[in-house]
A and B are shown apart, each in its own frame.
Chain A
Amino acid sequence: MGGFWLTGLIFVPTLGAFGVLMQNDEESIWRSAFIFSLIPLAMSLYLFAAFDPHQAAYQFVERYSWISQFGISYHVGMDGISLFLVILTTLLISLSLLYSGGGDIEMRPREFCFMMLVLETGLIGALLAIDLFLFYVFWEVMLVPMYLMIGIWGHGRKIYATFKFVLFTMIGSLLMLVAILYLVGAARAQIGHLTFDLPDLYNVPLSRTEARWLFAGFAIAFAIKVPMWPVHTWLPDAHTEAPTAGSVMLAGVMLKMGTYGFLRFAIPLFPEVAIEATPIFMALAVVGIIYGALVAMVQPDLKRIVAYSSVSHLGFVMLGIFALNPQGIEGAVYQMLNHGVSTGALFLMVGMIYVRRHTREVSEFGGLWKTVPMFAALFMVVMLSSIGLPGLNGFVGEFLILLGTFLHSEPAAWVAVIGLVLGALYMMWAYERVMWGPVTKSINQTIKDLSGREIAVMVPLVALMLLMGLYPRPLLSRMEPSVNALLDRVQAAQARLDASHARTLAALAAPVRNPGDK
């Protein structure tokens, strides 16, 4: 037991949100929000240090009864998978707030900071919840501030984007709710009482058909969030119209809720179906990788390029997850973090250039290397990290994923490699058009290079890219036990499947072997 660390992590931001509401002048709003976001960041770093890397079980567990009639409890815990996503969340929230205070958000700063901090509660809560009901609550709670952030501080067709975002996610999550309730009902038939506790719901005896439907209920909700092709269409709109901080949180953490959901819920709850569904998900992931890359290539808008690159990168994550081997899954988790850091950084840099020029059209730029060298240099590092240059973080994740995929299915790995090449291509091409060549627009001569605040926002991210690229051991070692625990479940399911196949085969073969028996 670990005291109230996790509860603190979840609810300090909420307290902060109400604290921010008390502030009046703009300066103190931004300052207090930033300070409040530093508390959970510090707490999550402490938990990183205190985390026992040799243990697969949940750590720092807290559990209190909440709705006893349904066996619902406030049950939170942290394992090697959620640990890093929590740190990613707390870090990106702090950096987004720091960045947004510098002029990106021009109106209603108080409401903005309020939303950001409530969003942090939702995200961390969903990552730490072990009770399915609690998870669902946080899963929905994070939707509201994000939707308001896009709606209020977004650009262009923001209203359209918000509705699309909300409707897609809501349809998915309500079907997941039905699946949760059905699963709990089935569990009750077995263990005699209602419970929403995740470990209790493992090994509920379900017919094959039931398990398939339930897996579908979870998988659709998570696939929409990831987003997997073909339910990705909300993402480019939401990303493009969202304010910078919204895009950072959306890409950085919220998309990972989908992949995290697969790892935490869909696969361990229904391992047999997950194994059966592997070809489908690998195919969708590969299509997403190629499709995202191709569409990103032809986008005229920098932010849309980054948005579609997310579709492609998340395809890699899904590929790694459904390789269902240690390399693949560890690579996937690592890539989730990488994508959070790199794409978060990319969105921040696009935001920085947008604040200066109020446009994100690639054709509006050119030759920025000459006028804003600091910006261009940092952008270079971030871009290289995003395309997976060895020595930077992206490489480690992609390498592990490809390794895992190769062990599972060679063709998928080959297609993914093509996606990797395409990824490098569109990123570098965009970079070339924006940064190199002559300065074609005179207005680009006058834009200012990065301010101190902007450099302060970027430095931690760039440092992480280097650190995670050069020394992945501390991260991978903490993930390993949890990933192995997950894979144990998958292997047990594989064994059951093999046994049942063997039985079926034996049953089929029996009449052939003994033709005279009848």
Chain B
Amino acid sequence: MNQFTLAAVNFAWLPILPLIAVTLGAIVVMLVGPNVDDEDSAGLGLVALMTVLAAFVLTLFTLGQNSLAFGGALAVDDYSGFFELVILAATAVTIGMSLDYAADEGLAGAEYYALILFAALGMMLMAAAGDLIIIFLGLETMSIAVYALVGFMRRDPRSNEAALKYFLLGAFSTGFLLYGIALVYGATGTIRLDPVRAAISGGMASNPLLLMGLGMMLIGFGFKVAAVPFHMWTPDAYEGAPTPITAFMAVGVKLAAFAGFLRIFLVHLGPLSAQWSDVLWVIAVLTMTVGNVVALVQANIKRMLAYSAIAHAGYVIVGMAAASSHQAGGAILYYLLGYSFTNLGAFAVVVALERHGEVRDRITDFRGLARTHPALAAAMALFMLSLAGVPPLAGFVGKFYLFSAALNAGLVWLVIIAAINSAISVYYYTRVIVEMYAREGEGVSVKRIGTRPALLLSLAVGVAGTILIGLFPQPYMSASASAFASATSRPALKTTALLR
């Protein structure tokens, strides 16, 4: 205990300060909650927003390090920093969308914001995990909070159904993941990721227990990122959840799941990539194709965006299948970055359309929007074009980066399939644009965006991200590449002193 010097504490606690901040914020919101009238709960939302922004700033201070904390349980590197920052930004935007929406839909209450913060905490843990148990802990913290959020509209049967489905399938998939972790532990004798990697390089590569464990974990993550054939829950859960929560799931949950997925498979099981990249090849093709083809016939915008999210997971998995290319990691991170901003923006438009007591999530509800609300329609068109991969927006440059990584790994056919998929997707994205611009219609009346500053800000973040990340990609590409590199290039087992 004598070695427990102040300097060591300062250094070791710094990386988890953002996590602590989010936890504290969540607890404060929860404790204060019962004393606040439901009508004033927007104030709680602001507290949550402040918490997230504080955590964002704190995370910025953790950048540039590359070590392990808590005996290897947490990885302090730019990879976790990158994901934490994007997750926190997504959380902030989610809260921004919710402020007005929650009051309007009668979701008021401290639990709503506290759960969002807890979910964000779980996501950040997944991003920063240095061992398998932390990944599992993060996944559960996130998932349980999100299950509750999906079912938050207690009087809406769709919301209830969504929560139940999501919960049952989610619990099932968690079981797979945990089983996989147990098998890997059994095979290697450790749950720390760095030793697992060392064990694999040291000749464990064809251990059947290890391979079974890998397969199980693949299934578990497959559920969370909504890869085909583990995607069944996605459309129902996305449709039934309150719309800001749908956005949170499509972006935050997906980011966190990919953070864990990539860290385990791409970073630490990289030496084994020959064993799993063919499987991912197949999963990528299935995920893209099913996502895009089924999205074609959706009449509900949230379901359409759900299938679109599935398809985009497929593109990311194309990048994972290209693990042997040095570009793959950077490409995936960059792609996820662009995807996040674009999708958040698209959901913000859906939120803007909804109004108390009225469900406006059919694609035909967008009819005539360009006439009644030209700016909103233009923003939606921008997001749809970015998702469809039209240059020079973020979605296009992301695809460009991913495809070039996959070609670099020699996956020519996979890229051709992805390109054809991309062309298919143009149909359903442009359908929204056609509804807004070309079809004659009344157009729904939308509550003035100007009176909803938080929502306006969320939209603005989406628009700015979609344009800037696409038009001036260089800094974001470098950041993505170096973030991924920091996870792969950690000096072996350089842990900090605390709790060793």
Contact = CB atoms under 8 A, between A and B. Distances in A.
B430 A174 contact: no
B396 interface: yes
B448 to A, nearest CB: 20
Given A152-B438, A166-B426, A175 B419 contact: yes
Interface stretch (A157-165, A290-298, A303-311, A364-372): A157-165
Contacts of B422: 170, 174
Contacts of A184: 404
Most chain-A CB neighbours within 10 Å: which of B391, B427, B430?
A: B391
A144 B374 CA distance: 17
Contacts of A66: 474
Interface string B477-495: 1100100000000000000
B230 interface: no
Nearest to B397: A67
B473 interface: yes
B321 to A, nearest CB: 16
A185 interface: yes
A267 B247 CA distance: 46
Contact of A137 (B371, B385, B392): B392
B63 to A, nearest CB: 20
**How many of chain B's residues touch chain A, expressed as a range?**
35 or more
Main secondary structure of the interface of A (DSSP, over half): helix
A136 B397 CA distance: 11
Interface stretch (B5-13, B274-282, B408-416): B408-416
Given A152-B437, A166-B426, A170-B423, A178 B400 contact: no
B400 A141 contact: no
B420 A171 contact: yes
Given A166-B430, A175-B416, A140 B391 contact: yes
B423 A144 contact: no
Interface in B347-405: 370-371, 374, 385, 389-392, 396-397, 400, 403-404
B391 A185 contact: no
B158 interface: no
Given A66-B474, A67-B473, A159 B434 contact: yes
Interface in A165-189: 166-167, 170-171, 174-175, 177-178, 181-182, 184-185
Contacts of A178: 403, 407, 412, 415-416, 419
A29 to B, nearest CB: 14
Given A144-B385, A159-B434, A174 B400 contact: no
A396 B416 CA distance: 42
B124 interface: no
B459 interface: no
A170 B422 CA distance: 9
B373 to A, nearest CB: 13
Contact of B407 (A140, A144, A170, A182): A182
Contacts of B419: 174-175, 177-178
Given A163-B430, A167-B426, A181 B415 contact: yes
A137 B426 contact: no
B390 A143 contact: yes
Most chain-A CB neighbours within 10 Å: which of B385, B390, B404, B420?
A: B404
B416 A181 contact: no
A141 B471 CA distance: 13
A147 B430 contact: yes
Given A69-B474, A136-B391, A151 B407 contact: no
Q: Enumerate the 6 nearest inter-chain pairs by beta-carbon distance, A residue then B residue, closest first.
A: A151-B438, A137-B391, A174-B419, A171-B423, A170-B423, A181-B404
8 contacts: A69-B481, A70-B404, A143-B390, A151-B433, A163-B430, A174-B419, A174-B420, A174-B422
Interface of A: 66-70, 108, 111, 133, 136-137, 140-141, 143-144, 147-148, 151-152, 154, 158-159, 162-163, 166-167, 170-171, 174-175, 177-178, 181-182, 184-185
Given A69-B478, A166-B430, 12 more contacts: A108-B371, A136-B391, A141-B391, A159-B438, A170-B422, A171-B420, A174-B420, A175-B420, A177-B403, A178-B415, A178-B419, A185-B407
